[in-house]
Amino acid sequence: MSAVDRIGPIEISWGDSPLVLSQPHAGTFLPPEVAAALTEEGRALPDTDWWIDRLYAPLAAQFAATVVRTPISRYVIDVNRDPSGASLYPGRTTTDLVPKETFDGEPLWRAGAEPSAEEVNRRKRLYFEPYHAALAAAIARTRLRFGFCLLWDCHSIRSVVPRLFEGRLPTVNFGTFDGRSCSPALRAAAERVLASAQESFVIDGRFKGGWITRYWGRPAEKIEAVQMELAQRAYMHEAPPWTFSEERAERIRTLFAQLLTTLLEEAGRLHAPGSNP
């Protein structure tokens, strides 16, 4: 079993490979004062990346990955948003650093209980900053030991969310911030693997990567970062009680194992001592 450290509420499960798995939206814990301010719809947490930790657990073991996760719900504060409050997708509907509405546009906060600017800053200190401190520690240790880091940001979302995107989302949504968060060779390698698979996919489509991918992706500094936004139909039932499907999960894990193997090999080649990527 890997050693576990904590920075505030954030958990770091240390691995022994160049792979870091970031899991920012699987948490369901609501501090009592936050739960009291949420609507009934908000307390149901419909926009959680359900079961992401369970989906990735066998892969984390297989690849000896370091895992950074928060138990805190994204409704408390979203650690994958720009801390300045700036939109990651200008001109498109998205959610805020502290969301005001669900993905479907339902109010999250009871009238008069919306978080103040002071409260948002408090949550930054308690939950946002520790998550990125944990990522910084994981990335620094990994890069020191292996010469590079592959940061894979783990996400999932319902297949149909009309307010956020049209139609039915492809199964696999691979984000590289339009080729800026990872080396071109890794993006091309991912496309080759996905093109040979049986799942629908898009690269840098509706989901190009959030703040984690954009901020930490620094290929020139040997930090290769990608976001995996997975349509939840790939591993679960997309309605309460959000039942996990081990049969579906195993199929998508097989594809992810191929992707991870390919990306780690490509990154290792690019960042080997004496290489000139």
Q: Supply the pLDDT for residue 1.
A: 45
Q: How many structural domains does the chain have?
A: 1
**Domain annotation covers residue 202:** yes
Cis before residue 277, ω within 30 degrees of 0? no
Domain span including residue 20: 4-270
Domain of 72, CATH number, reads 3.40.630.40
**Domain annotation covers residue 190:** yes
Instruction: State the amino acid at position 272 in one-letter form.
Output: A
**Domain annotation covers residue 276:** no
**Domain annotation covers residue 27:** yes
**Domain annotation covers residue 275:** no
Residue 41 contacts residue 57 (beta carbons within 8 Å): no
Q: Supply the pLDDT for residue 198.
A: 92
**Domain annotation covers residue 277:** no
**Domain annotation covers residue 177:** yes
**Domain annotation covers residue 23:** yes
| φ, ψ dihedrals at 33, nearest 5° | -70, -30
Q: What is the largest CA-CA distance in the chain?
A: 60
pLDDT in tens, the chain (277 residues): 479 999 999 999 999 999 999 999 999 999 999 999 999 999 999 999 999 999 999 999 999 999 999 999 999 999 999 999 999 999 899 999 999 999 999 999 999 999 999 999 999 999 999 999 999 999 999 999 999 999 999 999 999 999 999 999 999 999 999 999 999 999 999 999 999 999 999 999 999 999 999 999 999 999 999 999 999 999 999 999 999 999 999 999 999 999 999 999 999 999 998 776 5
Query: Could you report the per-residue pLDDT of 226-270, keeping only the tens digit for each?
Result: 999 999 999 999 999 999 999 999 999 999 999 999 999 999 999
In angstroms, the CA 57 to CA 230 distance is 16
Angle between helices 184-195 and 246-270 (to 10 degrees): 150
- Tell me, what DSSP letter sits at residue 213? H
CB burial readout 142-167, b (16+ within 10 A) else e: bbeebebbbbbbbbbbbbebeebbee
